[in-house]
Amino acid sequence: MFDKNVLISFALLFFTQIVVFFQINGQVIWPFCKNHPWLLSLMGVPISYLFILGTEYGYKAYDAIWPIRLAGFALGIISFTVLTYFFLGESITFKTGLCITLATSIMLIQIYM
């Protein structure tokens, strides 16, 4: 099942996972964030709202919560992998590559089955 609600849900969840990456790992990337963690904590309310919207659209598409949870997990793994590589220089090991493959498989199952 693939409709506009799936696209909106996945876009919101993917974008929110990216924002969460910077909220949680900003302290490792930028000294300013390390010295001002309270600023990062202020991102919690908009992040929560975006997750709520992503879940709402996903539920409209699937009429179930499990597909949305699994898709959110997979989108988080994929975004984390890319952002960790580009911002922290962490390479993709065999184990990480295998996990990315599994996360991608989860996404494809949610979209096409």
Question: Which pLDDT belongs to residue 2?
Answer: 60
Alpha-carbon gap, residue 35 to 10, rounded angstroms: 33
Mean pLDDT of 2-22: 94
Mean pLDDT of 66-73: 89
pLDDT tens column, 83-107: 999 999 998 899 989 988 988 888 8
With cut-offs at 50, 70 and 90, classify the pLDDT of residue 74.
confident
**CA torsion 62→68→10→79, rounded to 10°?**
-160
Listing DSSP states for 1-55 in one string gives ---HHHHHHHHHHHHHHHHHHHHHHHHHH-HHHHH-HHHHHTTHHHHHHHHHHHH
Question: Which pLDDT belongs to residue 16?
Answer: 98
Q: Residue 43 — φ and ψ, nearest 5°?
A: -75, -10
